[in-house]
């Protein structure tokens, strides 16, 4: 509602203005009426309004003096309208000088007042939109500077901007918040996942309230990860009168309820201040690659999951190095033997939680390093995570002997593919598969099995070349084929949808609109009108 202040020393004028319009219908509310400029000034110092309609001639302070004082002292940026019985141009000039929106002669008619109200409402809406656009741009620029710090690629200008535009304290962590069980992003289209990601981002911002700028979108720089990042500071739990762990639990519960989905939170190591946040960021992403080898939890703390000290924790380096060697040589027999020896040694040592974690973490980090040496353009931590998830099956304990053996064999195949660079030729074959079988339920998992390529690796290589997921690539190809059928045939929409691989016509229409900007029927009609729709 547009808040309006009426200022006039003649009560019948105020009463007349109040009754002249259906103010509520026009989206307005008269919040106060004052008899002179001094009263109005006192009210404005304590209250906000959107529009002031004031008489020009009043005792103690005239309408022009009120306008001049408001602008000079920056008391209010409300739109101002002068009502006057004087048509002298000098008055109008003076009013315009102080950004008066309108100068109206008495008696004012209903149509003229309605036009003024609507003009003010339109200007107010545009100003609100301008402010919102400005706020979004400022927040996006702040996020860019924060991301520079997260990646450890920053200078003094980045650091200064962040420290002056964000509420910070000592004790800082990077926290990654992800959807649970989205193990194969290729099964879900990018637009759908992006929508869920934005809802997660909005919900996180709502929880943070005045700290909303601490929530960052697109932090992972990985097309297959739809998450949000949080820059946590030690002062935050105090606002909820709780501990750090209770704060994270409150946040996670709030987000899970808002999205009606299960989430996982990866809490990076605590650093002294924001300048060291890249270390916490790296720690959170190392946690991500280890999740498949640990029991499922809602919140993972770096300090708890990766505890390395000298008090009785042993590294079975000989057995681990033998396993790594077997994986590098893709020797399945040696892999199983090495896994057995590793677990026998752990059993002999009476290894418990921390020791087992240390040994598995050493193995995973070494495998990431090995793969990165062969291809540093692919996110190796994500590949490792996806392969370890695919090796996990119901009834198999995470991090168990069977799980590790399955993972090691699949990872060995992945490394062999990296060495051969076989993906380059396979991409051409997959293009051919899409051209010939686009109407079928094609998935990267099926194609990976057909061409003996790890589907996680194939998905990343595919996205790198085409700048989109396989699912979106297939969808776009189907839509182009549908467009050709719309132009060249008289087939019904539902028939064309089926022919290009869509079982649900409504879903097809939505996808077509997203790609072409109009419905299939309108596309056909417009093409016929422009002479592009003749049958061939």
Q: At 6, is the pLDDT very low, low, confident or very high (cuts 50, 70, 90)?
A: very high
Looking at 51-65, 216-230, 251-265, 480-494, which range is the least confident one?
A: 216-230
In this model, does residue 342 exceed pLDDT 60? yes
Looking at 16-25, 113-122, 180-189, 248-257, which range is the least confident one?
A: 180-189
- CA nearest neighbour of 77 among 176, 162, 185, 3: 3
Looking at 87-101, 148-162, 227-241, which range is the least confident one?
A: 87-101
- SS3 assignment for 218-246: CCCCCCCCCEEEEEEECCHHHHHCCCHHH
The residue among 408 and 311 whose pLDDT is bigger is 408
Q: How far is CA 227 from the centre of its chain?
A: 7
The residue among 374 and 1 whose pLDDT is bigger is 1
Mean pLDDT value across residues 514-523: 88
How many angstroms separate the Cα of 414 from the Cα of each of 36, 281, 359, 476? 81, 26, 22, 29
Contact 295, 398 (CB under 8 A): yes
| pLDDT tens-digit series, residues 433-456 | 888 899 888 888 888 777 767 777
| 321: number of Cβ within 10 Å | 14
User: E-assigned strands of 141-189?
Assistant: 172-179
**Nearest-angstrom CA–CA distance, 311 and 10:** 87
| pLDDT tens-digit series, residues 39-98 | 999 999 999 999 999 988 888 898 889 999 999 999 998 999 988 876 666 666 777 777
Q: Which two tokens mark 337?
A: 């033997």
Mean pLDDT value across residues 209-221: 85
Threshold 0.75, pTM exceeds = no
Measured over the CA atoms of residue 124, residue 130, residue 134 and residue 140, the dihedral's sign is positive
| pLDDT tens-digit series, residues 85-141 | 766 666 667 777 777 888 888 888 888 888 888 888 888 888 878 878 778 888 889
pLDDT confidence of residue 249: 95
The residue among 486 and 307 whose pLDDT is bigger is 486
Specify which of 98-102, 127-131, 191-195, 235-239 reaches the highest per-range mean pLDDT.
235-239
**Nearest-angstrom CA–CA distance, 303 and 292:** 18
- CA nearest neighbour of 179 among 226, 231, 232: 226
Residue percentage of the chain with pLDDT more than 70? 83
**Nearest-angstrom CA–CA distance, 230 and 204:** 9
pLDDT confidence of residue 477: 92
Q: Find the length of the chain.
A: 536
pLDDT confidence of residue 308: 45
Identify the burial level of 42 via C-beta atoms within 10 angstroms of its C-beta, where 0-12 means exposed, 13-18 middle and 19 or more buried. Answer: exposed
Looking at 159-173, 257-271, 340-354, 477-491, which range is the least confident one?
A: 340-354
Contact 414, 387 (CB under 8 A): yes
In this model, does residue 483 exceed pLDDT 60? yes
Q: At 532, is the pLDDT very low, low, confident or very high (cuts 50, 70, 90)?
A: very low
How many angstroms separate the Cα of 486 from the Cα of each of 266, 434, 476? 48, 20, 15
**Nearest-angstrom CA–CA distance, 67 and 81:** 9
Q: Which residues of 82-110 are buried (b: 16+ CB within 10 A; e: fewer)?
A: bbbeeeeeebbebbeebebbbbbeeebee
Those residues whose C-beta lies under 8 Å from the C-beta of residue 313, and which sit 6 or more positions away, are: 307, 354, 355, 358
**Nearest-angstrom CA–CA distance, 117 and 6:** 13
Looking at 171-175, 293-297, 400-404, 494-498, which range is the least confident one?
A: 293-297
Contact 102, 82 (CB under 8 A): yes
Instruction: Please state whether beta strands 172-179 and 227-233 pair in parallel, antiparallel, or not at all (unpaired).
Output: antiparallel
């Amino acid at each position: 509602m547009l808040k309006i202040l009426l200022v006039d020393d003649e009560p019948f004028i105020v009463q007349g203005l109040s009754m002249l319009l259906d103010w509520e219908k026009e989206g307005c509310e008269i919040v106060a009426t004052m008899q002179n400029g001094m009263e109005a000034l006192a009210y404005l110092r304590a209250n906000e309004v959107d529009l002031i309609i004031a008489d020009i001639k009043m005792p103690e302070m005239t309408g022009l003096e009120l306008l001049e004082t408001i602008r000079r002292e920056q008391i209010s940026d409300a739109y101002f309208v002068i009502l006057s019985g004087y048509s002298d141009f000098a008055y109008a000039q003076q009013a315009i000088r102080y950004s008066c929106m309108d100068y109206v002669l008495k008696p004012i008619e209903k149509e003229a007042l309605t036009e003024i109200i609507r003009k003010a409402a339109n200007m107010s809406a545009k100003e609100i939109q301008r402010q919102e656009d400005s706020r979004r741009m400022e927040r996006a620029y702040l996020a860019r500077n924060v991301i520079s710090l997260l990646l450890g690629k920053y200078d003094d200008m980045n650091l200064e901007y962040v420290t002056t535009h964000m509420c910070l304290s000592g004790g800082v962590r990077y926290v990654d918040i992800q959807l649970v069980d989205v193990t194969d992003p290729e099964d879900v289209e990018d637009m759908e996942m992006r929508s869920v990601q934005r809802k997660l981002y909005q919900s996180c911002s709502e929880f943070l309230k005045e700290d909303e700028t601490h929530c960052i979108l697109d932090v992972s720089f990985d097309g297959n990860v739809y998450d949000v990042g949080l820059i946590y500071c030690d002062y935050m739990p105090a606002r909820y009168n709780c501990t750090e762990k209770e704060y994270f639990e409150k946040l996670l519960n709030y987000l899970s309820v808002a999205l009606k989905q299960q989430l996982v939170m990866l809490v990076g190591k605590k650093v002294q201040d924001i300048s060291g946040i890249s270390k916490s960021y790296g720690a959170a992403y190392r946690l991500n690659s280890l999740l498949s080898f640990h029991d499922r939890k809602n919140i993972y703390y770096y300090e708890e999951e990766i505890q390395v000290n000298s008090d009785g924790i042993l590294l079975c380096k000989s057995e681990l190095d033998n396993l790594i060697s077997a994986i590098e040589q893709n020797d399945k027999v040696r892999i199983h033997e090495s896994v057995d020896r590793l677990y026998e040694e752990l059993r002999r040592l009476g290894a418990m939680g921390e020791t087992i974690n240390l040994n598995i973490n050493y193995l995973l980090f070494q495998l990431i390093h090995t793969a990165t040496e062969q291809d540093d353009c692919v996110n190796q931590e994500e590949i490792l995570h996806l392969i370890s998830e695919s090796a996990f099956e119901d009834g198999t304990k995470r991090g168990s002997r069977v799980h590790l053996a399955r993972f090691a064999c699949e990872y060995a195949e992945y490394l062999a593919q990296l060495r051969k660079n076989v993906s380059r030729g396979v991409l051409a074959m997959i293009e051919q598969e899409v051209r010939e079988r686009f109407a079928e339920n094609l998935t990267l998992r099926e194609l990976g099995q057909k061409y003996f390529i790890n589907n996680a690796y194939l998905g990343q290589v595919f996205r790198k070349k085409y700048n989109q997921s396989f699912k979106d690539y297939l969808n776009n190809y189907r839509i182009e084929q549908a467009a050709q059928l719309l132009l060249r045939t008289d087939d019904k929409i539902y028939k064309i949808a089926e022919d290009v691989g869509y079982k649900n016509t409504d879903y097809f229409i939505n996808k077509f609109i997203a790609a072409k900007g109009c419905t299939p029927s309108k596309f056909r009609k417009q093409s016929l009108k422009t002479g592009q729709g003749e049958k061939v």
